[in-house]
Copies of this chain bind each other. A is one copy, B any other.
Amino acid sequence: MPVVIYKPERRVIVDGVERVISKHDQWYVGNTSRDFHCGGIVIKKELLKPGKIKIGNHELIIIEASFLDEYKGIRRDAQIITRKDLGFIIGFCGLTKDSIILESGAGSGAATIMFAKLCKKVYSYELEQKNIDVVKENLTKLKIKNAVVEHKDMYDIKSVKVKNTDLVLLDLPEPWRALESARKAVKVGGYIVAYTPSITQAAKLVNMLPEYALHERTMELIDRDWRIKGEAVRPVTADIGHTAFLTILRRIL
């Protein structure tokens, strides 16, 4: 049983001033059948189970790993779509347990996995064989059965076999080249979402929009962290993550 180990921060008061002597840390342990080394500590395998333990000066808290912890530990060779953006797409497009999704490209499969854990079926198209291998490895590791990754070119309408999906996610450099493929794959009333790092890509897509697609929005989701410590309450300096622009289209014809 995989676990997560938390090492809480340790502070001492020296001459009236509070000092951090050991920072908060955490580790995912996929294999608990051998001892685990972390931050200069060795944890014997028989201790690698949920609960509170003490090793030397360090109090550690161990919990059973959840799907999320395993998900965070997947192999990531390509850049992945963040959970913030995936969550937004799921919420905004009204996906449900009955939804069927086509995404392209698969990258490392981060979107594939999250969709598969919440929806009915995921088809994932990808051109690069090495990405396909990574996705397959990740799907196996997380025991996902309702997703398939296929070696296909989304820009080529003939390669698209799936139909009537609820969402087509385009994580491609030139999403405008996939508009006819997307139409073939998505049902009327379903969504097409393009995920593009540059605003110029989003602009080009929107300016080339065919009549069948209603442009609902082009937006970015900015994620702003706050630091709270007693009376000190402020945004974290230099830490707003721009990830990408999302262009959301609905097939209406």
Chain A contact residues, CB within 8 Å of chain B: 4, 6, 50, 52, 61, 63-69, 71, 83-97, 114, 117-119, 166, 188-190, 197-203, 206-207, 214, 217-226, 228-243, 245, 252-253
Inter-chain contact B63/A252, CB cutoff 8 Å: yes
For the complex with contacts A83-B92, A84-B221, 12 further pairs of A-B residues with Cβ separation under 8 Å are: A6-B214, A6-B252, A63-B188, A66-B190, A68-B94, A96-B117, A97-B97, A118-B118, A199-B234, A221-B221, A234-B242, A239-B240
Instruction: Jot down 21 A-B pairs with beta carbons below 8 A, ordered by A.
Output: A63-B252, A69-B189, A83-B94, A87-B87, A87-B89, A87-B90, A87-B92, A118-B118, A197-B232, A198-B232, A200-B203, A200-B233, A201-B231, A203-B233, A207-B228, A207-B229, A221-B223, A222-B224, A237-B242, A238-B240, A240-B240
Shortest A3–chain B CB gap in Å is 10
- When distances are taken between beta carbons in the complex, the residues of chain B under 8 Å from A190 are 66
* Residues of chain B with a CB closer than 8 A to A207's CB: 228-230
- Tallying the copies of this chain within the complex gives 4
If the complex has contacts A219-B225, A219-B226, A252-B6, are A95 and B118 also in contact, measured as CB distance less than 8 A?
yes
